[in-house]
């Protein structure tokens, strides 16, 4: 590097790295070793951000501005190091510095463990939103839990998913700043006690509680080269000293230690379901622990500004509930305002409704969270009273407006009757919020017209839409440096903070020279991935084949099985030589199944069994390969997506709320084969119907078929290729050692009604896949379509989503 100024920056970074290796880690800096120098680099980069972070936090206080609290029990940030380096604009400097030590930056980056503090889409969305809040300078914080064990580590053993512990903090993370002096007491259990205050009013207090402490742990989230650093505050459970007194007095030292350790279990492990885990006491404890700690922090900040009254609370605080997981917040804020601050119920309720907004993420009935009245009553007795009071007043109001409508009261009630009463957390979130949003147009429409139809009639205007987005920093700039560089060379780099600039690429879609460069980038990415697959799985794949990817959580509604049926169909056509000309494909699957989800785990086994049969069949050769990549996570997505030709977004219409994987692919120039579901619809709208492979029944078709008359067996009987594929699965072609192994999968399709309508969409899907192959053979056509996908994805930046939340829901503006 010739520039003397840059040389100085490189030298000073090198000094810092070695100083940290010696003085922070206590290691000999010579000879330079990868693991140590990785950490040395982390600390050096962290140093450079900390000043900006302090500056940003101070600017919030100085401007006494309204802040947003984004509450989420899940975050999936992915690796931090490159994110920090690029936010600081230090990539070249870092490359040069570590190169001088004989190390390679890309190899150092691989040393970082993924913080798996989320299950999938919902957690990843929260992290994209943190990135955009920082880049758009929206004053706010992310709040969550610092789980010791994140989402399980998936390995595949003999084709089956095995779950391993993800002890991501085994080696201290350089990114987690523990605030040991910063703790709040969190209470549980006990009872609610009525008393009369000095004015003679009946009041309540929560007594005889057990407690645990919540310790703040902070992670910095930098904006892109704007000097703004947002804070993500994650709570860790630490035992109180109460146990010591209690047990030590009885001379029970071991008992004391044991009780302490047990109380710290609250933040031990992330629940691995991608829908909500039912009735698990520890999960409810996590939710309340998180909520109570966060609200003490919010109130601490609010009080710091010496407000004379709580009436201005909603002018200072906006709380976004990411799904219903933090919905107990509504009862907690009521408890604080009524019991502790002595506000009237009416004013407290008005403050609540002005403070909260709620994002719904699912319409699958089995995924809507409920908690038994018995459990809430035992763990949070005062909160249950408050929920009952909210419900009582709410139903009173409904009863007055719609006299005699008992059916309506039953459908709207926060408490579902039946054996074992349940609190419906979504209903609590809806009545306690000023705004409820779905995450894509179709999904928001379904909320209004089906799932929460009666609420929508009751509260016109409360329901709205904010279509999800993804951060272009991680999902293009960082994940796909070659494509990012090509784009920047043609249209400049403004797209990084204003993604709508990508539209300038459209003018080049037919330019042969640009097409050529586009193709070269894609080929390079595919080669890199092929090398990764060879290293990880020992499977050789050909980068010249069509890379077809289905990577996401394994769930029946996402219909991996439909894709498998297509693979088997192709396999049969190849074997029977009935393909006129075949376009060779490599079909990638990746994704975790919830450990208790039998059917999803069996689908993983089936994919691996089909892969074994196909890849081992010499008659198939290069024409078809199937790979299942274990342990799907953000870092793996970053490797896979830039190499994809085809993105599989084939959920049953109406069931995928939005999807964000679909956006990542299209942004990186993959074409989508998809149903009219979630954000697919909006993606197709912007990229153009000619540049999207559409198939399948629509949401209203699905609704109609579910209402009666759908006969999957008749479809099976009348489609020869489908019948053959299903028969192979059910008679043990892919599991000769256990012919009945996959019976439950075929049974769900034929004997149990095929709820996800796999058979109903099979023929159209296979036909559209034929269309995909045909287009792929026309290189200029495919390349044009690919360019136009990227060019038109500007709408799906999470910056756009965040600005919509800020304007329409939070009523906050970016800091200057």
Ligand X SMILES: *Cc1c(COP(=O)(O)O)cnc(C)c1O
Q: What positions carry a catalytic annotation?
A: 361, 552-553, 558, 660, 664
Region binding ligand X by CB under 6 A among candidate stretches 27-35, 222-230, 657-665, 761-769: 657-665
The piece of 79-87, 315-323, 582-590, 626-634 that touches ligand X (CB under 6 A) is: 626-634
User: Which residue in 78, 75, 221, 127 sits closest to 633, CA to CA?
Assistant: 78
- Based on CB atoms, which residue is closest to ligand X, 514 or 589? 589
- Least CB distance from residue 682 to ligand X, whole Å? 14
* One residue of 660, 675, 680, 790 binding ligand X per CB under 6 A: 660
Residue 546-565 contact track with ligand X, rule CB under 6 A, x = bound: ------xx------------
Q: Is beta strand 435-438 parallel, antiparallel or unpaired with respect to 463-465?
A: parallel
- CA separation for the pair 135, 629 (Å, rounded): 33
Q: Which stretch binds ligand X (CB under 6 A): 102-110, 610-618, 633-641, 757-765?
A: 633-641
**Binding test (CB under 6 A) with ligand X, winner from 29, 77, 115, 121:** 121
Nearest to 247 by CA among 231, 233, 263, 226: 263
Torsion angle of the four alpha carbons 363, 367, 372, 373, in this order, in degrees rounded to the nearest 10: -30
Q: State which of residues 88, 425, 565, 637 lies at the interface with ligand X (CB under 6 A).
A: 637
Q: Give the chain's length.
A: 816
Q: Nearer Cβ to ligand X, position 292 or 634?
A: 634
- Beta carbon nearer to ligand X, 443 or 553: 553
The nearest distance, CB 436 to ligand X, in angstroms, is: 21
d(CA 609, CA 644): 23
Distance of alpha carbon 656 from alpha carbon 752, whole angstroms: 22
List, in sequence order, every residue forming a beta bridge with 69; answer none if it has no partner: 141, 319
Q: Which is nearer to ligand X, 220 or 633 (CB)?
A: 633
Question: Judged by CB, which is closer to ligand X: 36, or 361?
Answer: 361
Stretch that binds ligand X, among 207-215, 252-260, 510-518, 629-637 (CB under 6 A): 629-637
Using CA atoms, how far apart are residues 801 and 472, in angstroms rounded to an integer?
12
CB atoms within 10 A of CB 199: 7
Question: Which range touches ligand X (CB under 6 A), out of 388-396, 429-437, 654-662, 692-700?
Answer: 654-662
For residue 203, what are the β-bridge partners? Answer: 195
Q: How far is the CB of 637 from ligand X (least distance, A)?
A: 4
By C-beta, is 121 or 326 nearer to ligand X?
121
Q: Which of 642, 659, 674, 696 binds ligand X (CB under 6 A)?
A: 659
Half-sphere exposure of 681 (CA within 13 A, CB side): 23
Total of chain residues touching ligand X, rule CB under 6 A: 14
Read off φ and ψ for residue 231, nearest 5 degrees: -105, 135
Shorter beta-carbon distance to ligand X: residue 120 or 139 = 120
Q: Tell me the DSSP string of 729-794.
A: HHTTSS-TTSTTTTHHHHHHHHTS--TT-HHHHHHHHHHHHHHHHHHHHSHHHHHHHHHHHHHT-G
Interface with ligand X, residue 476, by CB under 6 A: no
Nearer to ligand X by Cβ, of 649 and 748: the residue is 649
Return d(Cα 550, Cα 587) in angstroms, integer: 8
Indicate the residue among 128 and 348 with the shorter CB distance to ligand X: 128
Of 122, 42, 36, residue with least CA distance to 80: 42
Choose between 335 and 664: whose C-beta lies nearer to ligand X. Answer: 664
Site string for ligand X, 78-117 (x = CB under 6 A): ----------------------------------------
What is the footprint of ligand X within residues 14-73 (CB under 6 A)?
A: none
Residue ranges with strand state E in 615-702:
624-629, 646-649, 671-674, 693-694
Please, what is the minimum distance in Å from the beta carbon of residue 631 to ligand X? 10
Give the C-alpha separation, 496 to 476, whole Å.
9
Please select the residue that binds ligand X; options are 142, 381, 661, 794, rule is CB under 6 A: 661
Q: What is the CA radius of gyration of the chain?
A: 28
Residue nearest to ligand X (CB): 661
CB of 128 to ligand X, least distance (A): 9
String of DSSP letters for 360-416 = -----GGGS-EEEHHHHHHH-HHHHHHHHHHHHHHHHHHHHHSTT-HHHHHHH-SEE
Q: In the complex, what is the shortest distance from the CB of residue 594 to ligand X, in angstroms, rounded to a whole number?
A: 13
Residue 128 found at the interface with ligand X (CB under 6 A): no
Nearest-angstrom CA–CA distance, 772 and 765? 10
Q: Which of 221, 633, 787, 809 binds ligand X (CB under 6 A)?
A: 633
Site string for ligand X, 514-553 (x = CB under 6 A): --------------------------------------xx
C-alpha span between 775 and 777 (Å, rounded)? 5
Please report which helix (H) or strand (E) contains residue 563, including its range: helix 560-575
Locate all alpha helices (DSSP H) within 64-120, ordered by sequence: 81-87, 91-100, 105-109
Six token digits for residue 72:
């989420």
| Binding of ligand X by 120 (CB under 6 A) | yes
Residues in Cβ contact with 172 at an 8 Å cutoff, skipping those fewer than 6 apart: none
- Choose, by CB under 6 A, the member of 124, 325, 335, 434 that binds ligand X: 124
Helix (H, G, I), strand (E, B) or coil at 151: coil
Please list the residues that pair with 551 across neighbouring strands.
590
Give dist(CA 358, CA 338) in Å, integer. Answer: 22
Stretch that binds ligand X, among 17-25, 351-359, 535-543, 628-636 (CB under 6 A): 628-636
* H-helix or E-strand spanning residue 143: strand 140-145
β-pairing, 160-164 vs 415-416, is unpaired
> Pick from 390, 436, 477, 634: which binds ligand X (CB under 6 A)?
634
Rounded to a whole number of angstroms, the minimum distance from the CB of residue 114 to ligand X is 9
Contact string (CB under 6 A) for ligand X, positions 581-620, x = contact: ----------------------------------------
Cis bond upstream, residue 31 (ω within 30) = yes
Binding residues vs ligand X (CB under 6 A): 76, 120-121, 124, 552-553, 632-634, 637, 659-661, 664
């Amino acid at each position: 590097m010739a520039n003397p100024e840059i040389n100085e920056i490189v030298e000073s970074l090198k000094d810092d790295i070695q100083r940290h290796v010696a003085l922070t880690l206590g290691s000999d800096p010579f000879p330079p070793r990868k693991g140590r120098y990785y950490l040395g680099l982390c600390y050096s980069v962290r140093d450079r951000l900390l000043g900006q972070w302090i500056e940003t936090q101070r600017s919030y206080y100085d401007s006494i501005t309204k802040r947003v609290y984004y509450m989420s029990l899940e975050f999936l940030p992915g690796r931090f190091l490159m994110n920090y380096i690029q936010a600081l604009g230090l990539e070249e400097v870092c490359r040069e510095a570590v190169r001088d030590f004989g190390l390679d930056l890309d190899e150092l980056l691989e040393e970082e463990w993924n913080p798996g503090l989320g299950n999938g889409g919902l957690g990843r969305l929260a992290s994209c939103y943190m990135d955009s809040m920082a880049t758009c300078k929206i004053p706010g914080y992310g709040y969550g839990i610092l789980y010791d064990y994140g989402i399980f580590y998936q390995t595949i053993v003999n084709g089956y998913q095995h779950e391993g512990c993800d002890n991501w903090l085994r080696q201290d993370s350089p990114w987690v700043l523990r605030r040991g002096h910063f703790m709040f007491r969190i209470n549980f259990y006990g009872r609610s006690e009525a008393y009369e205050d000095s004015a003679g009013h009946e009041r309540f207090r929560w007594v005889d509680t057990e407690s645990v402490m919540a310790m703040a742990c902070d992670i910095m989230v930098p904006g892109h080269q704007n000097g703004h650093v947002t804070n993500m505050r994650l709570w860790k459970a630490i035992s109180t000293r109460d146990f010591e007194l209690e047990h030590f007095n009885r001379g029970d030292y071991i008992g004391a230690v044991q009780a302490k350790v047990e109380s710290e279990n609250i933040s031990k492990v992330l629940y691995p379901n991608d829908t909500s885990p039912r009735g698990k006491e520890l999960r409810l404890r996590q939710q309340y622990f998180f909520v109570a700690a966060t609200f003490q922090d919010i109130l601490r900040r609010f009080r710091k500004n010496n407000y004379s009254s709580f009436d201005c609370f909603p002018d200072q605080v906006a709380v976004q509930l990411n799904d219903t997981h933090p919905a107990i917040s509504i009862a907690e804020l009521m408890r604080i305002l009524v019991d502790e601050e002595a506000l009237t119920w009416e004013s407290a309720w008005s403050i609540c409704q002005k403070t909260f907004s709620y994002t719904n993420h699912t319409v699958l009935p089995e995924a809507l969270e409920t908690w038994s009245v018995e459990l809430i009553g035992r763990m949070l007795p005062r909160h249950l009273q408050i929920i009952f009071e909210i419900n009582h007043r709410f139903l009173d109001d409904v009863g007055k407006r719609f006299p005699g409508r008992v059916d309506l009261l039953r459908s709207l009630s926060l408490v579902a009757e039946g054996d074992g009463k349940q609190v419906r957390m979504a209903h609590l979130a809806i009545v306690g919020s000023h705004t409820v949003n779905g995450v894509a147009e179709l999904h928001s429409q379904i909320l209004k017209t089906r799932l929460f139809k009666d609420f929508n009639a009751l509260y016109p205007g409360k329901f709205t839409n904010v279509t999800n987005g993804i951060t272009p920093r991680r999902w293009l700039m960082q994940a796909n440096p070659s494509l990012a560089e090509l784009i920047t060379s043609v249209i400049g780099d403004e797209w990084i903070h204003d993604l709508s600039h990508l539209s300038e690429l459209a003018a080049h879609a037919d330019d042969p020279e640009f097409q050529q460069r586009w193709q070269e980038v894609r080929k390079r990415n595919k080669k890199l991935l092929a090398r990764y697959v060879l290293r990880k799985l020992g499977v050789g794949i050909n980068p010249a084949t069509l890379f077809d990817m289905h990577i996401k959580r394994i769930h029946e509604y996402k219909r991996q099985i439909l894709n498998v049926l297509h693979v088997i169909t192709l396999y049969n056509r190849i074997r029977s030589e009935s393909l006129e000309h075949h376009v060779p494909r490599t079909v990638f699957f990746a994704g975790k199944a919830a450990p208790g989800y039998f059917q999803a785990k069996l689908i993983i086994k089936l994919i691996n069994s089909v892969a074994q049969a196909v890849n081992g069949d010499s008659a198939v050769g290069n024409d078809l390969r199937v790979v299942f990549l274990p342990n799907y996570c953000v870092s793996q997505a970053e490797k896979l997506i830039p190499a994809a030709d085809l993105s599989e977004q084939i959920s049953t219409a109406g069931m995928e709320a939005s999807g964000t994987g679909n956006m990542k692919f299209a942004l990186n120039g993959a074409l989508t084969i998809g149903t009219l579901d979630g954000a697919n619809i909006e993606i197709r709208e912007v990229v153009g119907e000619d540049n999207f492979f559409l198939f399948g029944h629509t949401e209203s078709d699905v609704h109609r078929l579910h209402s009666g008359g759908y006969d999957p067996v008749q479809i099976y009987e009348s489609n020869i290729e489908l019948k053959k594929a299903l028969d192979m699965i059910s008679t043990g072609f892919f599991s000769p050692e256990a012919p009945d192994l996959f019976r439950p999968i075929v049974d769900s399709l034929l004997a149990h009604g095929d709820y996800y309508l796999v058979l109903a969409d099979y023929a159209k899907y296979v036909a559209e896949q034929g269309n995909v192959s045909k287009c792929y053979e026309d290189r200029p056509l495919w390349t044009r379509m690919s360019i136009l996908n990227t060019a038109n994805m500007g709408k799906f930046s999470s910056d756009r989503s965040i600005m919509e939340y800020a304007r329409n829901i939070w009523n906050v503006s970016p800091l200057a």
